[in-house]
Structure 1
Amino acid sequence: MNAQAFYPIGTPGQPWGDAEKAQWLSRQTRQRSYADEVLSVIERLRPRFDVVEYGWLEYGTETFPLFAFKSRDWRDDLPVALVTGGVHGYESSGVHGALQFIDRHADEYAGRINLLIAPCISPWAYERIHRWNANAIDPNRSFRNDSPAAESAALLQLVAPVSDRVLVHIDLHETTDSDESEFRPALAARDGKPFEPGEIPDGFYLVDDSEHPQPEFQQAVIAAVEKITHIAPADANGEIIGSTVAAPGVIRYPLKQLGLCAGITDATYKTTTEVYPDSPRASAEQCNAAQAAAVCAAIDFALAH
Structure 2
Amino acid sequence: MHSAYTYPIGTPGQKWGDEERQTWRAQTSIKREYQQLVIPEIEALRARFDVVQYGALSYDPARYPLWCVKTRAWQDDKPTVLITGGVHGYETSGVHGALQFLATEASRFESEVNLVVAPCVSPWGYETINRWNPNALDPNRSFYPGSPAEESAALMALVAELPDILLHIDLHETTDTDESEFRPALAARDGIAYVAGSIPDGFYTVGDSDKPQLALQTAIIEAVRKVTHIAPSDENGQLIGSDAVQEGVILYPMKKLGLCGGVTDCTYTSTTEVYPDSPQVTAQECNDAQVAAVVGALEYVLAQ
TM-score, normalised on structure 2?
Answer: 0.98
Distance (whole Å) between structure 1 residues aligned to residue 210 and residue 2 of structure 2 = 33
Contact 1:53 1:66 in 2 (8 A): yes
String of CA shifts for 1:175-232, please: whole Å, max 9, x gaps: 0000000000000000000000001000000001101111111000000000000000
Compute the RMSD of aligned alpha carbons.
1.3
Distance (whole Å) between structure 2 residues aligned to residue 144 and residue 242 of structure 1 = 24
Give the aligned residue type for 2:57.
L
Give the aligned residue type for 1:249.
G
Q: Counterpart in 2 of 1:155?
A: 155
Q: Counterpart in 2 of 1:127?
A: 127
Distance (whole Å) between structure 2 residues aligned to residue 86 and residue 60 of structure 1 = 18
Report 1:249-268 matches (<5 A): 249-268=248-267
The answer to which structure has the higher helix fraction is 1
Contact 1:98 1:119 in 2 (8 A): yes
Contact 2:227 2:289 in 1 (8 A): yes
The aligned length equals: 304
Residues 243 and 114 of structure 1: CA distance in aligned 2, closer, same or farther (over 3 Å) = same
Distance (whole Å) between structure 1 residues aligned to residue 63 and residue 101 of structure 2 = 27
- Give the SS at the match of 2:302: helix
String of CA shifts for 1:135-172, please: whole Å, max 9, x gaps: 00000000011001000000000011225x21100000
Residues 3 and 17 of structure 1: CA distance in aligned 2, closer, same or farther (over 3 Å) = farther
Q: Does 1:30 align with 2:30?
A: yes
- Give the SS at the match of 2:46: helix
Distance (whole Å) between structure 2 residues aligned to residue 3 and residue 46 of structure 1 = 49
Contact 2:171 2:290 in 1 (8 A): yes
Distance (whole Å) between structure 1 residues aligned to residue 218 and residue 5 of structure 2 = 40
Residues 81 and 61 of structure 1: CA distance in aligned 2, closer, same or farther (over 3 Å) = closer
Distance (whole Å) between structure 2 residues aligned to residue 94 and residue 110 of structure 1 = 21
The offset of 1:6, in angstroms, is 3.5
Q: Counterpart in 2 of 1:300?
A: 299
Residues 63 and 2 of structure 1: CA distance in aligned 2, closer, same or farther (over 3 Å) = farther
Contact 2:56 2:62 in 1 (8 A): no
Distance (whole Å) between structure 2 residues aligned to residue 218 and residue 224 of structure 1 = 10
Give the aligned residue type for 2:35.
A
Contact 2:3 2:196 in 1 (8 A): no
Q: Provide the identity percentage.
A: 59
Q: Counterpart in 1 of 2:166?
A: 167
- Give the SS at the match of 2:219: helix
Distance (whole Å) between structure 2 residues aligned to residue 80 and residue 299 of structure 1 = 11
Q: Does 1:86 align with 2:86?
A: yes
Residues 45 and 62 of structure 1: CA distance in aligned 2, closer, same or farther (over 3 Å) = closer
Distance (whole Å) between structure 2 residues aligned to residue 104 and residue 158 of structure 1 = 25
Contact 2:6 2:12 in 1 (8 A): no
- Give the SS at the match of 2:199: coil
Give the aligned residue type for 1:190.
R
Give the aligned residue type for 1:265.
T
Give the aligned residue type for 1:126.
Y
Q: Counterpart in 1 of 2:12?
A: 12
The offset of 1:128, in angstroms, is 0.2
Q: Counterpart in 1 of 2:244?
A: 245
Residues 217 and 59 of structure 1: CA distance in aligned 2, closer, same or farther (over 3 Å) = same
Q: Does 1:287 align with 2:253?
A: no
- Give the SS at the match of 2:211: coil
Contact 1:176 1:277 in 2 (8 A): yes
Q: Counterpart in 1 of 2:213?
A: 214
Contact 1:2 1:193 in 2 (8 A): no
Distance (whole Å) between structure 1 residues aligned to residue 131 and residue 245 of structure 2 = 26
Distance (whole Å) between structure 1 residues aligned to residue 235 and residue 3 of structure 2 = 25
The offset of 1:5, in angstroms, is 2.6
Contact 2:167 2:267 in 1 (8 A): yes
Distance (whole Å) between structure 1 residues aligned to residue 233 and residue 186 of structure 2 = 24
Distance (whole Å) between structure 1 residues aligned to residue 247 and residue 111 of structure 2 = 33
TM-score, normalised on structure 1?
Answer: 0.97
Contact 1:4 1:189 in 2 (8 A): no
